[in-house]
Structure 1
C-alpha cells in the first residue's frame, strides 16, 4: 500500500474525537493530530476548511478528503483498513445493523440525558435524572441479555467505543456535578462493563487522565455558573 496521509482534527477532553483516536490506534493507523480549542472563537482555518458545514470536531482527513461525525468516521476506519486484525463492526449484516442501532441510541438518547442530569438545576435536573435512569435501564437489560464482557461480545467493538461517554466520561462529570446516577447499586452490569472498558489494555493506555478531565469539566461548569450569575445581574 502506498504511503497514506491521515490527519485528525480533534479536541482534548472530547469523547467524540477520542473515539476516532482509539479506533485508529486499535487499527494501527498512523496519523497527525491537530487539537482544536473548543472555546476558541472563531474556529480554526483548518476546521473551517475540512468541515465547513457543521464546523465541529472530529474530522478525519484521509489523503486530502475529509469525513465528519465520529460514528461515521468509525465505520470509515473499519472499512478502509479492513485488512487489520482488529474489526470494529460485526461481519453479519443483521449484527452490523443492531450495532449501529445501539450506537445511535447511546448518542441520541443516553448521552444527552446524562449530560442534562448533571448540568441542569432544580426540577429540570430531576426530570433529566429520571429520563437518564430509564435509558440506562435499557442498556442494563441489553448487557444482561448478552451475558458478555462487552456490547460487542468478548472484546471491544463499535458499540463499546460509541459508549465511551458512559464508560468513562460520565463518571468524572457526575463527580464534578455532585450527582450519583451511574452507581453499582442501581446498574451493576453497566458499572461492571465500565470497569472492563476502562481496563481493556488499549483503552486504558489512551484514556485522558482522570484528574485532568475532572479539572477540565470543573472549569466548564464554573464558567456556566458565572455566566448564569451575570445574566441574573442584568435582570435586576
Structure 2
C-alpha cells in the first residue's frame, strides 16, 4: 500500500482539521520534508492505511515515519522534537518546568474546539453551558499569555502551534455563542494577528469563511438544523 513502506515521513490528514494543521505548521517551522496524504473522513470509507495505522481511534492525524505510525497531534509534535533534534527551531523550551507548562497549556487548548463544537451542535441550556465554558477557556488562555508576544515568550513555540489552528474557527463560535474574543480576550486576539503573519501559519490555515462552510456541511451531515 502506498505510503506504508515508504521511507521518510507521510502525514495522513484532512484539509480543515486543526489537529492535522498543528503537525503541518510544526513541520513547516522546522523545515522537515514530508508527503501529505489527504484522507476521506466524510461520506466515504476510511482508507485501509488509516485504519491500520490508527486502529484504536481510526482518526487523523497520523505521522508515518519509515512506515511506523505516530498518532495524536500533540504526541506527533513531541515526536518531531525528539526524532529530529537537529531541526530548528525547537518548539519546547529547554527547562523541565517550562516544558511541563507548555504541555499543560497545549492540551488545555483542545477545550476551545470541544466547547466550540458543542456551540453549533446543541441548543438551549446545553449551548449556554458550552458558551460559558468557551468564554472561560478563552479568558484563561488570555491570562496565561499575558503581555508576552507568544505563549513561551518572544519565540513562537509549542503552545502557539497547538492553539493557532483553532483561530479560524473562532468567528463561527462567536456567532453561535454570541460573544467576542476581541472584547473578552484582547491580548489573545492580538496574538492571533501576530501568528497569522508567520508563513507556516498563513500557508496552512484556511479563512474563517471556509471553516464556516465546513461547519455547515457537518450540520447537514449530522441532520442539525
What TM-score, normalized to structure 1? 0.85
Given that 2:22 and 2:165 are in contact with CA atoms closer than 8 Å, whether structure 1 keeps it comes out as no
Between the aligned partners of 1:93 and 1:52, the Cα distance in structure 2 is 32
- Deviation track 1:189-213 (CA, whole Å, cap 9, x = no partner) reads 1111121122223211222244433
Asked if 1:150 corresponds to 2:150, the answer is yes
Given that 1:168 and 1:198 are in contact with CA atoms closer than 8 Å, whether structure 2 keeps it comes out as no
Matching of residues 84-99 of structure 1 within 5 Å? 84-99=87-102
Query: Which of 184, 201, 204 is 1:206 aligned to?
Result: 204
Query: Which of 133, 153, 161 is 2:135 aligned to?
Result: 133
Deviation at 1:10, TM superposition (A): 0.3
- Deviation track 1:110-158 (CA, whole Å, cap 9, x = no partner) reads 33122212331111111111122122221121122xx211112112111
Between the aligned partners of 2:101 and 2:167, the Cα distance in structure 1 is 19
Paired position in structure 1 for 2:57: 54
Paired position in structure 2 for 1:181: 179
Question: Helix, strand or coil for the counterpart of 1:142?
Answer: helix
Between the aligned partners of 2:102 and 2:24, the Cα distance in structure 1 is 20
Would you identify which runs of 4 or more consecutive aligned residues in structure 1 move more than 3 Å?
177-180
Between the aligned partners of 1:137 and 1:190, the Cα distance in structure 2 is 9
Between the aligned partners of 2:8 and 2:61, the Cα distance in structure 1 is 16
Between the aligned partners of 1:178 and 1:30, the Cα distance in structure 2 is 38
Paired position in structure 2 for 1:116: 118
Deviation at 1:74, TM superposition (A): 0.3
Deviation at 1:4, TM superposition (A): 4.8
Question: Helix, strand or coil for the counterpart of 1:79?
Answer: helix
Question: Helix, strand or coil for the counterpart of 1:16?
Answer: helix
Given that 1:5 and 1:31 are in contact with CA atoms closer than 8 Å, whether structure 2 keeps it comes out as yes
Question: Helix, strand or coil for the counterpart of 1:208?
Answer: coil
Figure out how many residues of one structure are paired with residues of the other and give that number: 220
Matching of residues 18-97 of structure 1 within 5 Å? 18-97=21-100
TM-aligned CA distance change 1:210 to 1:183, over 3 Å:
closer
- Deviation track 1:1-38 (CA, whole Å, cap 9, x = no partner) reads xx951100000110001111111111111111111121
TM-aligned CA distance change 1:166 to 1:41, over 3 Å:
closer
What TM-score, normalized to structure 2? 0.89
Question: Helix, strand or coil for the counterpart of 1:60?
Answer: strand
RMSD (Å), alpha carbons: 2.0
TM-aligned CA distance change 1:151 to 1:5, over 3 Å:
same
Paired position in structure 1 for 2:12: 9
Given that 1:16 and 1:58 are in contact with CA atoms closer than 8 Å, whether structure 2 keeps it comes out as yes
